[in-house]
Amino acid sequence: IFYIEEKPLLTLPSLYGITYLKGSRGRSNIDIVEEFIKADLKLIQYREKDLSQKEKLKECIKIRELTSKNNVTFIVNDDIDIALLVDADGVHIGQDDLPINRVRKLIGKNKIIGVSTHSPSQAKKAELDGADYIGVGPIFPTKTKVNVCKAVGLDYLKWVEKNISIPFVAIGGIKEANIDSVLSQGAKSVAIVSELTLSNDISSKVKAVIRKIEEKSYNE
Ligand code: TZP
Ligand code: MG
């Protein structure tokens, strides 16, 4: 008898949290992570485009400590070296980063690889190449990401829902006020960046959004 070793599918939480230093009203990445954890957010991606590698490493060491203590999944955007050094749970990469199979070689089969996608062909390729989940977006126009392609809209999200079997997270211009449109296209996991990090009371906002997403899935 042969047992084929298959990796169980990852489950993404209803709300996917991302740091955004520039849009955090003077609060640090660590402050943001603490607010997210306080609100019981179960996955946090460290996304930092402005600090040095040295500064990012220092923050990621601290975030690893906080996320481990609180059972929160910790994903590092872009920096595979930093992810490895702090023993993060995974990395998130874009279309111009190293190929997925090479990243897999570096971080191993037990870690999470997330890939940003903006079209059906990119989504299919990421799935075939062994991504654990994909980002789908930007759904709506956003100022948070520079050099991002124009909004791909809800139609691409719907396509992914129908044609892709790995988990996906909808991202880009999503707010509490338009989240219903994203959930009705079949998104089970949503990333909201600026609306959370710009809130005066981040943890209350996060809790409200989680409640909203989970209510919607109960009502299905
Ligand atoms: N990837 C695609 S859109 C985006 C990223 C990181 C930024 C989303 O930010 P916001 O503030 O939720 O529009
Ligand atoms: Mg990137």
What 3-state class would DSSP assign to 121?
helix
pLDDT band at residue 220 under the 50/70/90 scheme: low
Alpha-carbon span 194 to 82, nearest angstrom = 24
Query: Relative to the CA of 77, which ligand 1 atom is closest?
Result: 6
- Is the pLDDT at 147 greater than 70, yes or no? yes
Q: Which residues are catalytic?
A: 47, 116, 145
- What is the ipTM, given to two decimal places? 0.98
pTM, whole model, 2 decimals?
0.96
Ligand 1 proximity of 199 Cβ (cutoff 6 Å): no
Separation of alpha carbons 156 and 159, rounded Å: 5
Q: HSE, CB side, 13 Å, CA atoms: give it for residue 212.
A: 19
Give yes or no for residue 71 having a pLDDT over 80: yes
Q: How far is CA 40 from the centre of its chain?
A: 16
Q: What is the mean pLDDT of the chain?
A: 96
Which residue among 93, 171, 197 is best mutated to probe the pocket of ligand 1, counting the most ligand atoms within 8 A of its Cβ? 171
- 1-15, 21-35, 111-125, 155-169: which range is least confident on average? 1-15
Q: Taking 80 as the threshold, does the pLDDT of residue 4 lie above it? A: no
**Residue 219: band (very low, low, confident or very high) from pLDDT cuts 50, 70, 90:** low
Q: What is the mean pLDDT of residues 102-109?
A: 98
- Phi, psi dihedral angles at 116 (to 5 degrees): -75, 130
Q: Which residues fall inside 5 Å of ion ligand 2, going by CB? A: 78, 94
For 153-175, what is each residue's pLDDT tens digit? Answer: 999 999 999 999 999 999 999 99
Per-residue pLDDT at 143: 95
Q: Whole-angstrom Cα distance, residue 25 to residue 20?
A: 10
- Tokens 């990852």, residue located: 10
For residue 22, give the ligand nearest its CA: 1
Helix 120-129, helix 153-163: angle, nearest 10: 40
C-alpha 96 – ligand 2 centre gap (Å): 8
Residue 13 has pLDDT above 80, yes or no: yes
Q: For ligand 1, is residue 193 a contact (CB within 6 Å)? A: yes
- What's the CA gap between 211 and 205, in Å, rounded? 10
Please work out whether the CB of residue 172 comes within 6 Å of at least one atom of ligand 1. yes
Q: Which residues are annotated as a binding site?
A: 45-49, 77-78, 97, 116, 142-145, 173, 193-194
SS3 93: strand
Residues 6+ apart with CB under 8 A from 164: 123, 124, 127, 134
